[in-house]
A and B are shown apart, each in its own frame.
Chain A
Amino acid sequence: MKLDPSFIWTAFVGLLPAIPTTLILTLVSVTCGFVIGTGTALARMYRIPVLAQIASGYVTFIRGTPMLVHLLLIYFSLPLLIDALSAQFDLGWNSAKVPMIAFAFVSFSITAGAYMSEVVRSGLMAIDRGQMEAALSVGMTVPQAIRRIVFPQAVAAALPNLTNSVIGMLHGSTLAFTVSVVDLNAKAQIVASTNWKYFEAYLAAAIIFWGLTIAIERIAAAIERRISLYSRGGVA
């Protein structure tokens, strides 16, 4: 086996067009996952009847099964559902019109939601009850207190874990190639298949993933610096 350094560069350039796909997969799954996760965490913490049980079941099932399995389950079940609904209500729709990436969005959001609910929950638990009590004592309603006082602090406390989740989803998004979405990883395979130089192509993909991860870490560090204006936690 011989390494072809120049092809690493060729592959690198060839991979660039796939970056937006990878980023949009990550962004959508993390954003939707955060919303789902927050709802799930609140339902469990406030023990809302029925919702809390559903939330617990959701978290344990999703965390108990691989992300790839979620994607395949969605990929094979959602079209059936869409076609059934379409036939039922005569929508003139069919699953073939749904872009492949939509299945990845749905499935990754569900996966991210379960993991992020635990991240949000840990953040909420890190905040002293006194913060909530003080908010209520100045006359806020519970939703106001959560939104303005507890939640911003909880997100700040959970930031290192949230960053982990974002990076995890960035890397996890490579699974999208199984449903024919051309993300970075899939693109590497395509680029390589023209001349069988897989190692060079995947090496180029790795470098790009690393670069994206460093960018995420930088952003997180900048947010952390802002938080440290008020927070003096830690042992240093």
Chain B
Amino acid sequence: MIRLSGIRKSFGRQEVLKGIDLHVGKGEVVAILGPSGSGKTTLLRCINYLEKPGEGEIRIGDQALDARRAGKKDVHALRRRSAMVFQQYNLFSHKTALENVMEGLVVVKKMSKDEARKRGIALLEKVGLGAKLDAYPSRLSGGQQQRVGIARALALEPEVILFDEPTSALDPELVGEVLAVIRRIAKEGITMIIVTHEMGFAQDVANRVVFMDEGVIVEEGPPAQLFGNPKEERTRQFLKRLTPEASYTI
């Protein structure tokens, strides 16, 4: 369970998050949509404190943290409850695919190397990279790197996985393999928050879609409702611009 209350964040004078409240239930898959600059990535990064919110409360499971008096230990405890999949993959470049997955297990979870290796191999096989265990990230395609990134996140068994535009940096023909993996793990009941531009994907993977603009949540609801019958004019505008083919008549 994740609960964000009154999250505010400014970069200099510009307020990018204007008091966000969001609740994500256990096992829920939430997609966050919105135009660039709407604050969706910043919000996601606030959840694991890669971005420090100005104020607000973040709660993951029974770990709560108030942004105004968060100590190092609280931040660390909070981070250990989530994992992140990055837009630019951010695999550890000096470690092989398997070592990337093992790193958090050995260093953070204090798991034995043998055990970590076993889990790492199982997870890489699960994302279809059983043959690339010893490959360094520089020898992998973008899609393969992102799948390693997903395995690395899964390995930690976090309470939530945060996806920051996981396919935005990929060649169009590689998007499918990554989405397929995410789709598969979504079905396993792992709690996920996904910032994405892939509308079709959001529509069939998410239980709930959140539309953000200019630092506020404009509208949220089940995908069928938000895509099919949005309440807010701003949502309608956004969806229309993103799916122009729907308005064509042939």
Contact = CB atoms under 8 A, between A and B. Distances in A.
Given A149-B92, A152-B94, A230-B93, A137 B103 contact: no
A137 B138 contact: no
A144 interface: yes
B83 interface: yes
A229 B95 CA distance: 10
Interface string B128-141: 00000000111000
A134 B86 contact: yes
B84 interface: yes
B137 A137 contact: no
B93 A136 contact: no
Interface in B79-138: 79-80, 82-84, 86, 88, 90-95, 103-104, 107-109, 136-138
B22 interface: no
A131 B92 contact: yes
Contacts of A229: 136
B48 interface: yes
B187 interface: no
A138 B156 contact: yes
B90 A144 contact: no
Contacts of B90: 128, 130-131, 133-134
A232 B138 contact: yes
Interface in B135-182: 136-138, 152, 156
B92 A135 contact: yes
23 contacts: A130-B86, A130-B88, A130-B90, A131-B90, A133-B86, A136-B79, A137-B83, A138-B103, A138-B104, A138-B108, A138-B152, A138-B156, A139-B76, A139-B80, A139-B108, A139-B156, A140-B104, A140-B107, A140-B108, A141-B72, A144-B107, A230-B136, A230-B138
Q: Which of B79, B92, B138, B156 has the most CB of A within 10 A?
A: B92
Interface in A193-231: 229-231
B70 interface: no
Interface of A: 128, 130-131, 133-141, 144, 148-149, 152-153, 156, 229-232
Interface of B: 48, 50, 72, 76, 79-80, 82-84, 86, 88, 90-95, 103-104, 107-109, 136-138, 152, 156
Nearest to A148: B107
Nearest to B75: A136
Contacts, number: 69
A231 B95 CA distance: 10
Q: Which of A133, A138, A230 has the most CB of B within 10 A?
A: A138
Contacts of A152: 94
Contacts of B103: 138, 148-149
Given A128-B88, A139-B80, A141-B76, 6 more contacts: A134-B84, A140-B104, A148-B107, A149-B94, A230-B95, A231-B94
A144 B95 CA distance: 15
Contacts of A232: 138
Contacts of A140: 104, 107-108
A104 to B, nearest CB: 36
Contacts of B91: 134
Nearest to A134: B90
B149 to A, nearest CB: 8
Contacts of A138: 83, 103-104, 107-108, 152, 156
B129 to A, nearest CB: 17
A141 B48 CA distance: 13
Contact of A137 (B84, B88, B107, B136): B84
A35 B57 CA distance: 40
Contacts of A153: 93-94
Contacts of A141: 72, 76
Contacts of B88: 128, 130
Contacts of B84: 133-134, 137
A139 B79 contact: yes
Contacts of A149: 92, 94, 103
Contacts of B83: 137-138
Contacts of A148: 103, 107
Contacts of A139: 76, 79-80, 104, 108-109, 156
Contacts of A133: 50, 84, 86, 90
A125 B94 CA distance: 16
Nearest to A135: B92
A47 to B, nearest CB: 16
